[in-house]
């Protein structure tokens, strides 16, 4: 069983992916983390994440160990990830990495949950379940501010909102694998829902589909 979850940043994909993986006993891959690892490896080597050649070379060498590095949740990593993710060579290299995981999930699990931007459209177009999780940019910025503050970091709403709009625009406008719902994805706007309600709605959707089959 493959569950593909796509949507913009801070829409609630991560927590949903984790809960679905636990519920169904599936392996979990946060694909944004791979783009973050590529971006940070470029930055750490003194390179520019917008340098297509440097970013592609790093992406071709990425391994599971690179995903365990500490600072991948930072805004610097998010920004670098968004920049390397427009590079076609980076996307091609990471496509193979993600498909390998989906085909052979870790721990011998019977399937996987992958969350990202192009899972249902490109990485796993044959996924059994495709979800497109969104929320207004204002709600997502508020959630991100709360999350940063809970981690003891300073966060200014206006700045987070601007950054998020910039990243949304970059993710949606890129030529290769832009952020968009797969044609047969279940769309869910989480602006007025908490994590429990999102999980319940998705479980209802999955069970209604299973009854159709």
Write the binding mask 164 to 203 for ligand DC: x where contact by CB under 6 A, - elsewhere: ---x---x--------------------------------
Minimum distance from CB of 79 to ligand DC (Å)? 8
Write the binding mask 112 to 141 for ligand DC: x where contact by CB under 6 A, - elsewhere: ----xxx-----------------------
Measured between alpha carbons, how far is 21 from 28 in angstroms, rounded to an integer? 6
Q: Which of residues 84-113 bind ligand DC (CB under 6 A)?
A: 85
- Residue 2 phi/psi, 5-degree rounding, is -115, 130
Minimum distance from CB of 22 to ligand DC (Å)? 20
Measured between alpha carbons, how far is 2 from 12 in angstroms, rounded to an integer? 19
The stretch among 62-70, 81-89, 103-111, 150-158 that binds ligand DC (CB under 6 A) is: 81-89
49 near ligand DC (CB under 6 A): no
What does the binding site for ligand DC look like in residue numbers (CB under 6 A)?
A: 9, 31-32, 35-36, 78, 81-82, 85, 116-118, 167, 171
């Amino acid at each position: 069983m493959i569950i593909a979850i796509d949507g913009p940043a801070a829409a609630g994909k991560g927590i949903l992916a984790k809960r679905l993986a636990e519920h169904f006993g599936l392996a979990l891959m946060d694909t944004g983390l791979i783009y973050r690892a590529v971006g940070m490896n470029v930055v750490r080597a003194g390179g520019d994440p917008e340098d297509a050649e440097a970013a592609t070379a790093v992406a071709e060498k990425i391994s599971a160990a690179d995903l365990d590095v500490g600072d991948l949740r930072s805004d610097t990593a998010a920004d670098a990830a968004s920049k390397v993710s427009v590079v076609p060579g980076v996307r091609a290299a990471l496509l193979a990495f993600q498909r390998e995981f989906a085909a052979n999930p870790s721990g011998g699990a019977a399937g996987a949950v992958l969350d990202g931007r192009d899972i249902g459209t490109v990485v796993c177009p044959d996924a059994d379940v495709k979800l497109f999780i969104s929320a207004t940019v204002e709600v997502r910025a508020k959630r991100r501010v709360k999350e940063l503050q809970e981690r003891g970091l300073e966060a200014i709403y206006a700045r987070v909102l601007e950054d998020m709009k910039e990243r949304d625009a970059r993710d949606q406008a890129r030529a290769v694998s832009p952020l968009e719902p797969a044609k047969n994805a279940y769309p869910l706007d989480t602006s007025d829902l908490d994590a429990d309600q999102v999980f319940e709605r998705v479980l209802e959707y999955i069970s209604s589909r299973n009854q159709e089959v």
